[in-house]
Copies of this chain bind each other. A is one copy, B any other.
Amino acid sequence: MKSYLQHDEWSIVEEGFRPEYNRISESVFSIGNGRTGQRANFEEGYSGDSLQGSYIAGVYYPDKTRVGWWKIGYPEYFAKVLNAPNWIRIDVQVNGQPLDLAQCEVEDFRRELNMKAGYLKRRVTAQMPDGKRIRIESTRFLSISDDEVGAIRYAVHFLNFSGTLSLAPSIDGDVHNEDANYGEQFWEFVSHRAEGEEAYLTTRTKKTGFTVCHGMAFALEKDQKALQPEAIRRTDEPKRVGYSCQIPMEEDEQVVLFKYAGIVSSLNYPEERLQAAAQEAVQRACEQGFDLLLRSQAEAWADKWEEADIVIEGDVAAQQGIRFNIFQLYQTYTGEDERLNIGPKGFTGEKYGGSTYWDTEAYCLPFYLATADAHVARNLLLYRYKHLAKAIENAEKLGFTGGAALYPMVTMNGEESHNEWEITFEEIHRNGAIAYAIYDYIQYTGDEAYLADYGLEVLLGIARFWAQRVHFSERKGQYVMHGVTGPNEYENNVNNNWYTSYIARWCLQYARDSMQTVRALDEAKYQAVLDRVNFQAGELARWNEVIDGLYLPEDEQLGIFVQHDGFLEKEQLTVADLKPEDRPLNQNWSWDRILRSIFIKQADVLQGLYFFEDHFDEDTHRRNFDFYELRTVHESSLSPCVHSILAARLGRLDKAYEMYVRTARLDLDDVNEDTEDGCHITSMAGTWMAVVRGFGGMRVSREEGLQFAPILPTPWKGYTFTVRYRGVVVGVEVKREEVVLHNHDRKPLALKVYGAAREIPGNGRLTVPRS
């Protein structure tokens, strides 16, 4: 837990230089545009502690794995996002001495991530070892209106001396991943060219063969006038291309370098076109120039904020938190390319390999459903539909048959790329989340045609898996599910994890019901799907048997669902028993101790209560929440948002607020002490849910339509959010005394507020007293 960042409604601000927090700030101040992302590394060289990171969506490397390889079914590789060539690099020398903040006395330092307009700005005043004082001011962004373009304005001011300034903008391909098994380089060098004032470097990933071209151009300015430096030296090497300019400067003079980058990859261009495409991007950027590009950036972000913003009154920390979360989500995934997905760290670090996890379905989908056009959420669903064949292959590797599908825990292209048996083979509840996302999408959009066209096929594969994954226990006289890992990864390989079994049973029910739905919609399509998957006569009977006979552990004495067999035999401690120095457990306790302890990493039984809220009465909610909340350490970023929503539902306003702040400011305050590895992007969607579903009480269902039941956390004066619902933009203003609902469509909108049927007139508003 840290609090060195300033509270501000629209910006993240760091004042003063803290080398020890540099990696954290590099994560927090990351910029991205859905296609490319960049940690907040310094442009100039820096010899202090830093995690260099420049990432390109969809470009990964299958790193070899050697543990467990002798066990059948283990994946062959662990996919990882690559640190791509460095496009921000601008070396600075003063009279031949390199500028390196690690070697300077930093007098003044300010970083600002401007979320309203989408740029990163840094201002530094530093004294070099020989007493020369210099000021740097840099502004950079990755354009979201032209997602192949990045731009940097880099100003250098000589404060107390005159001399020669050398500025050397380049594209540097000599980069490494910290997360590399053997420190090897993942890039091959294809071509390099520096000509005129442009430079191009083309690199190719080993094994996967993704080719990427980075291009750059630059311009210099002094006193708002173009400057042609006297001496320019070209760098045109296999791993680095660029220029170095010598500029004589007087005391108190400033020079500005504009660097324009074009970044394109073979995901979008044939290889032979890459350099030309990069050149076109660079030229587009040069033609517009920095100021116009930045204005477009601000306008594009204004459009996003218009629909996605959440305003919180009376709580700057909370306001900043939610905007930071929304900002990072839209920096990471824009929904325009169905080959892409959302890695848990987005573009802010190497951890989790930039791959897709169940986070997407369980956390991110609701955010994009409610803040973007329906095609964005649909693209997320289609991503999995396209991987169905590989999910079936994956299940076959483990010994399942007949078209059973097990979606991978972690994937880039549909193949499993995580190699711990307790996760790969056992954390199978992910399959449930993928089915649930289809349900969620259809509830929200009403798009039942999706079920017939794509959804049912996925549901059948998943149901087949569950039907085989359980077995009948003669001792119990019930079906049981052994050897699973629930969402709580602080326990592995348990039997009868309530959440996994519950969602498994639900998947079987939903697949069965969906068969009826599709049949009623379109008999021909229904038959075609059944033929395609070769559906067998006896399958439904087996499903029904499992649905009726699946064991779900409950404890009568405590009145709770039991996380898994044996959970209540653990040493019964609560979080209150922990010493501060024990936390976070994963940085202080051995894995052995964590596994055997009662402490829960993230919502597990409670994840089920969250998904299937209306299956349980309020007392059941309360008993389970009270039991598990006391034992949960929230060391997964995915945990506090679920607790916040459940607490809100139970009217536990303080707990809901506490959990909200924790999720909203998880990275800003480095709550889990791991932001240095990157930000927790997918859980940011959970923060959004904590406001909209938690405090706002939004629910959507086919039967009941749109519903709100807003509550107001004590520290807040009010809050406002906007959701899209079936093409209509609905604004919700929650105030102390009333709730004002805005309908931005010309037709009236029927909905429920606090359980009562209401209507907002077309292009009108509805005011309801807060209850």
CA distance A568 to B477 in the complex (A): 12
Of A62-70, A250-258, A336-344, the one contacting chain B is A62-70
Q: Which residues of B contact A449 (CB under 8 A)?
A: none
State whether A595 touches B483 (Cβ < 8 A): yes
Instruction: Tell me if A399 is interfacial: C-beta within 8 Å of chain B.
Output: yes
Q: Which residues of B contact A565 (CB under 8 A)?
A: 565-566
Q: Mark A581-614, 1 if CB is under 8 A from B, else 0.
A: 0000011111111011000000000000000000
State whether A473 touches B590 (Cβ < 8 A): no
State whether B399 touches A590 (Cβ < 8 A): yes
State whether A421 touches B592 (Cβ < 8 A): yes
State whether A473 touches B569 (Cβ < 8 A): yes
State whether A73 touches B592 (Cβ < 8 A): yes
Instruction: Point out which of A419, A472, A571 has the most chain B C-beta atoms below 10 A from its C-beta.
Output: A571
Given contact pairs A422-B422, A425-B591, A483-B592, a sample of 15 additional A-B residue pairs in the complex whose CB atoms are under 8 Å apart: A72-B589, A73-B591, A181-B181, A182-B184, A421-B595, A425-B592, A426-B592, A472-B571, A473-B570, A480-B569, A482-B566, A483-B596, A492-B493, A565-B565, A566-B566
Instruction: Tell me if A747 is interfacial: C-beta within 8 Å of chain B.
Output: no
Instruction: Tell me if A225 is interfacial: C-beta within 8 Å of chain B.
Output: no
- Given A482-B569, A493-B595, A588 and B72 touching (CB < 8 A)? yes
Ordered nearest first, which 4 A-B pairs have the shortest CB separation? Answer: A73-B590, A71-B591, A425-B592, A67-B67
CA distance A475 to B570 in the complex (A): 9
State whether B474 touches A593 (Cβ < 8 A): no
Q: Which residues of B contact A588 (CB under 8 A)?
A: 72
Q: Which residues of B contact A493 (CB under 8 A)?
A: 422, 492-493, 595
Instruction: Tell me if A539 is interfacial: C-beta within 8 Å of chain B.
Output: no
CA distance A73 to B475 in the complex (A): 38
> Which of B72, B421, B480, B568 is within 8 Å of A475, CB to CB?
B568
Instruction: Tell me if A154 is interfacial: C-beta within 8 Å of chain B.
Output: no
- Given A473-B570, A565-B566, A570-B473, A399 and B593 touching (CB < 8 A)? yes
Instruction: Tell me if A295 is interfacial: C-beta within 8 Å of chain B.
Output: no
Q: Which residues of B contact A526 (CB under 8 A)?
A: none
- Given A475-B568, A493-B492, A65 and B64 touching (CB < 8 A)? no
Instruction: Tell me if A398 is interfacial: C-beta within 8 Å of chain B.
Output: yes
Q: Which residues of B contact A184 (CB under 8 A)?
A: 182
> Which of B64, B566, B571 is within 8 Å of A182, CB to CB?
B64
Q: Which residues of B contact A595 (CB under 8 A)?
A: 421, 425, 483, 493
Q: Which residues of B contact A398 (CB under 8 A)?
A: 590, 592-593
> Which of B425, B475, B591, B596 is within 8 Å of A569, CB to CB?
B475
Q: Which residues of B contact A421 (CB under 8 A)?
A: 591-592, 595
Looking at chain A's contact residues, the main secondary structure is loop
Instruction: Tell me if A420 is interfacial: C-beta within 8 Å of chain B.
Output: yes
Instruction: Tell me if A397 is interfacial: C-beta within 8 Å of chain B.
Output: yes
Q: Which residues of B contact A476 (CB under 8 A)?
A: 569
Instruction: Tell me if A74 is interfacial: C-beta within 8 Å of chain B.
Output: yes
Q: Which residues of B contact A572 (CB under 8 A)?
A: 474
Residue of B nearest to A71 (CB): B591
Residue of B nearest to A419 (CB): B67
CA distance A495 to B495 in the complex (A): 11
Q: Mark A479-505, 1 if CB is under 8 A from B, else 0.
A: 010110000000011010000000000
CB A590 to nearest CB in B, in angstroms, measures: 3
Residue of B nearest to A480 (CB): B569
Instruction: Point out which of A64, A65, A67 has the most chain B C-beta atoms below 10 A from its C-beta.
Output: A67
Instruction: Tell me if A758 is interfacial: C-beta within 8 Å of chain B.
Output: no
Q: Which of A60-87 contact B (CB under 8 A)?
A: 64-68, 71-74
CA distance A590 to B71 in the complex (A): 7
Q: Which residues of B contact A586 (CB under 8 A)?
A: 71-72
Q: Mark A725-745, 1 if CB is under 8 A from B, else 0.
A: 000000000000000000000
Q: Which residues of B contact A473 (CB under 8 A)?
A: 569-571
CB A274 to nearest CB in B, in angstroms, measures: 30
Instruction: Tell me if A471 is interfacial: C-beta within 8 Å of chain B.
Output: yes
CB A295 to nearest CB in B, in angstroms, measures: 43
Q: Which residues of B contact A64 (CB under 8 A)?
A: 181-182
Q: Which residues of B contact A589 (CB under 8 A)?
A: 72, 399
CA distance A714 to B91 in the complex (A): 86
CA distance A571 to B482 in the complex (A): 10
State whether A590 touches B65 (Cβ < 8 A): no
CB A75 to nearest CB in B, in angstroms, measures: 12
State whether B482 touches A570 (Cβ < 8 A): yes
CA distance A5 to B671 in the complex (A): 65
Residue of B nearest to A184 (CB): B182
State whether A590 touches B482 (Cβ < 8 A): no
